[in-house]
A and B are shown apart, each in its own frame.
Chain A
Amino acid sequence: MGRLLREGEYLVVYIPPTSKALVFRVRAVYNKYHDMPYGPLPLTSGTTLPTYDGGTTNVPADGVLPARSYTYSGITFPYSGAYDSNDMWYLPKDYRERVFHVIQHVVPEFVRIDVQVPNGIEQARFQRDKVMLGVPRDFGFTRGEIEMIHLPELRVGYRYGNDTNMDVKTFVKFTYAEYVIEVPEDPKEVMDVLLGKVERYWFTYPVSAYVTAIEEALKKTYGYDGFRVPTKYEPELIEEYSKLIREVREVFKG
């Protein structure tokens, strides 16, 4: 599983369907105490969930994931006082200088987890779009822990599955950082970061389908949807990066 970054480090968010990447430098990290014991999963008593055996079942008590059940729709995490009290990790584009880096730990650790970006879109796929994967299927999920970068304007949903026969009480802990980020000014610096000539933290964004909502969110927030990732030093990209950086910095100035 990943690690949180410190001030001065570079973060690359690589988006596989476009072969582009967002490049950030972490200017500051808000809140040095990174652990948040959130509590039980936000599952409400009486909610109907599908089961691995083909039927449905009801959540027997708040925060309990019933035996053999999974959440078909992505879950967001309510938090009173947050910008969106139903989704604590969501931020609008005005918060473009902020990025949440979130590592989610779920107890019991055998609980299946996957992520939908944006919420409602299954992103784990096999052989292009031939087979949809994730929590309801045999693979395409992780268990007990998941890492995510939350970007503004993108609502992310998490799904959970319990393939045992036990109704389990759940608990979630977040290890997170709220980064204050900037886009590097120097296009050569961007190239070096993308080529790995300087140390950077590479996060592959968990998307297979580049749906319009993702592109729109990135463009609304940053004014672009990423730098093309070079395979070697490509001087012709410097001019392209330079133009993008100027545009992005204008957007950040507001």
Chain B
Amino acid sequence: MTSALITFYGKTDGSSTTGDFSLDSPILHSTVTYVRIPKGMKAKVWCKRISGEVATDVIISYTDDVTASSPTWKELSHERLASPGELILEKRRPVVILGRTGKEAFKVSWSQPSAGNAYVEIEVELTDE
């Protein structure tokens, strides 16, 4: 069984009401705006921690083909931080995205009624089980 547990971290830019998080992690040399899932593996999003100075929606979307010139992103998970503070969501049943072709990917986005600083951490397992 192969299993890699990765913590990704991202923050809003503080000036845009919508956008995609640049995701960073201790194992990454440079940030990414999406994560491509190896063929035959699954991405399991086990946990989301959201904090912010303003109300913030955090959306996980996936695409079947990230290599397309304009990938089609479909919403898969939507969490709402209703007011300044933090929201911790530990998922006993994770959000699962299967890599069937090796071109699937997911991204994490934000949406805010008024722009402000907000932060997200997600725990993602890349596994073949």
Interface residues of B in 29-48 (CB under 8 A from A): 29-30, 32, 34-39, 41
Q: Are B2 and A60 in contact (CB under 8 A)?
A: no
The dominant DSSP class at the B interface is loop
Residues on A with beta carbons closer than 8 Å to the beta carbon of B116: none
Whether A61 is near chain B, meaning CB under 8 Å from some CB there, is yes
Residues on A with beta carbons closer than 8 Å to the beta carbon of B28: 166-169
Interface string of A123-138 (1 = CB under 8 A from B): 0000000000000001
Interface residues of B in 1-56 (CB under 8 A from A): 2-4, 6, 26-30, 32, 34-39, 41
Given A108-B4, A110-B126, A144-B2, does the pair A163, B39 have CB atoms closer than 8 Å?
Answer: yes
Bound together, the chains give a CA A70 to CA B39 distance in angstroms of 15
Q: Are A144 and B4 in contact (CB under 8 A)?
A: yes
Q: Which of A60, A61, A110, A167 contacts B4 (CB 8 A)?
A: A110
Q: How many residues on chain B are close to A (CB under 8 Å)?
A: 22
Q: Are B38 and A165 in contact (CB under 8 A)?
A: no
> In whole Å, how far is B56's beta carbon from the nearest beta carbon of chain A?
25
Q: Which of B29, B39, B102 contacts A168 (CB 8 A)?
A: B29
Bound together, the chains give a CA A168 to CA B126 distance in angstroms of 14
Q: Are A167 and B29 in contact (CB under 8 A)?
A: yes
Bound together, the chains give a CA A165 to CA B105 distance in angstroms of 9
> In whole Å, how far is B43's beta carbon from the nearest beta carbon of chain A?
10
Bound together, the chains give a CA A143 to CA B6 distance in angstroms of 16
Q: Are B35 and A108 in contact (CB under 8 A)?
A: no
Q: How many residues on chain A are close to B (CB under 8 Å)?
A: 20
Q: Are A108 and B6 in contact (CB under 8 A)?
A: yes
Bound together, the chains give a CA A60 to CA B31 distance in angstroms of 13
Interface string of A61-82 (1 = CB under 8 A from B): 1001011000000000000000
Given A109-B3, A168-B29, does the pair A143, B36 have CB atoms closer than 8 Å?
Answer: no
Whether B57 is near chain A, meaning CB under 8 Å from some CB there, is no
Bound together, the chains give a CA A167 to CA B42 distance in angstroms of 19
Given A110-B41, A138-B39, A143-B128, does the pair A165, B32 have CB atoms closer than 8 Å?
Answer: yes
Q: Are B29 and A110 in contact (CB under 8 A)?
A: no
Interface string of A39-66 (1 = CB under 8 A from B): 0000000000000000000001100101
Nearest-neighbor residue (CB-CB) of A66 within chain B: B29
Nearest-neighbor residue (CB-CB) of A139 within chain B: B40
Bound together, the chains give a CA A55 to CA B30 distance in angstroms of 20
Bound together, the chains give a CA A108 to CA B36 distance in angstroms of 14
Whether A195 is near chain B, meaning CB under 8 Å from some CB there, is no
Q: Which of B26, B38, B66, B105 contacts A110 (CB 8 A)?
A: B38
Interface string of A157-181 (1 = CB under 8 A from B): 0000001111111000000000000
Residues on B with beta carbons closer than 8 Å to the beta carbon of A145: 2
Interface string of B92-109 (1 = CB under 8 A from A): 000000000010010000
7 shortest A-B CB distances, which residue pairs?
A167-B29, A109-B4, A165-B36, A143-B2, A108-B4, A64-B29, A163-B38
9 contacts between A and B (CB under 8 A): A66-B29, A108-B27, A143-B128, A163-B36, A165-B36, A166-B27, A167-B29, A167-B30, A169-B26
If A108-B126, A143-B2, A166-B35 are given as contacts, then 4 extra A-B residue pairs at C-beta distance below 8 Å, sorted by A number, are: A60-B29, A107-B4, A164-B126, A169-B29
Q: Which residue numbers of A lie inside 8 Å of B, CB to CB?
A: 60-61, 64, 66-67, 107-110, 138, 143-145, 163-169
